[in-house]
Structure 1
Amino acid sequence: MEDLNKTQLILLTLLVSFVTSIATGIITVSLLQEAPANVTQTINRVVEKTIERVVPAEGTGERVKEVTVVVKEEDLVIDAIGKNSKAVVRIKDNALIDGVSPFYGLGFLVNKDGIITSAYRETLNPGSTYTATFADGAVFTIKVVHQDGPSGLVFFRILTGSKVNLPVSPVAVAETEPKLGQTVITIEGEGKDIVAIGRVTSFGYVDEAQKQVFRINSDILPKSLAVGGPLVNLSGEVVGVRISGLTSDGSESFISLTALKQGLTNVPK
Structure 2
Amino acid sequence: MEDLTKQQLVLVALLVSFVTSIATGIVTVSLMEQAPEPITQTINRVVERTIERVVQTPSGNQQASVVRETVVVNADDQIIKAVDQNRRSLVTVVLPSDSEDQSLSEKISGFIVSDNGKVIAQLNTETLVNEVISEEPQFEGIFYGNKQFSLKVEGYDSATGFALFSVRVPEGENVTFTPIKSGDATSLKLGQAVIALGGIDIVVVQNGIVNSLPYETATIKEESETGEMVEREVKTLSIVETGIQTRVSAGTLLINLSGEVVGIKTAGVLQVGSYRPFNLVKEAQAKIEAKITENERNTVVE
1:114 Cα deviation from its structure 2 partner: 3.6
Larger Rg: 2
More strand by share: 1
Which structure 2 residues correspond to residues 167-246 of structure 1 after superposition, within 5 A? 167-177=176-186, 178-208=188-218, 211-224=235-248, 226-244=249-267, 245-246=269-270
Q: Identity, % of aligned pairs?
A: 31
Residue in 1 that maps onto 2:32: 32
Distance, in Å, in 1 between the alignment partners of 2:26 and 2:234 is 40
| Deviation >6 Å, runs of 4+ | none
Q: Report Cα offsets for 1:191-215 as digits up to 9, x if no partner.
A: 2111111122223545356721242
Residue in 2 that maps onto 1:3: 3
1:75 Cα deviation from its structure 2 partner: 0.7
1:103 aligns with 2:106: yes
Aligned to 1:263, what secondary structure does the other structure show?
helix
- TM norm structure 1: 0.84
Structure 2: give runs of 5+ residues left out of the alignment.
133-137, 219-232, 294-302
Distance, in Å, in 2 between the alignment partners of 1:140 and 1:8 is 82
Pairs aligned (count):
263
RMSD: 2.7
1:180 Cα deviation from its structure 2 partner: 2.4
Match among 135, 152, 155 for residue 164 of structure 2: 155
Residue in 1 that maps onto 2:149: 140
Distance, in Å, in 1 between the alignment partners of 2:280 and 2:127 is 20
Which structure 2 residues correspond to residues 59-74 of structure 1 after superposition, within 5 A? 59-74=61-76
- TM norm structure 2: 0.76
Distance, in Å, in 2 between the alignment partners of 1:119 and 1:202 is 25
Distance, in Å, in 1 between the alignment partners of 2:236 and 2:25 is 44
Residue in 1 that maps onto 2:23: 23
Distance, in Å, in 1 between the alignment partners of 2:87 and 2:159 is 27
1:257 aligns with 2:278: yes
- More displaced stretch, 8-17 vs 237-246: 8-17
1:123 Cα deviation from its structure 2 partner: 5.8
Distance, in Å, in 2 between the alignment partners of 1:152 and 1:213 is 19
1:139 Cα deviation from its structure 2 partner: 1.8
Aligned to 1:131, what secondary structure does the other structure show?
strand
More helix by share: 2
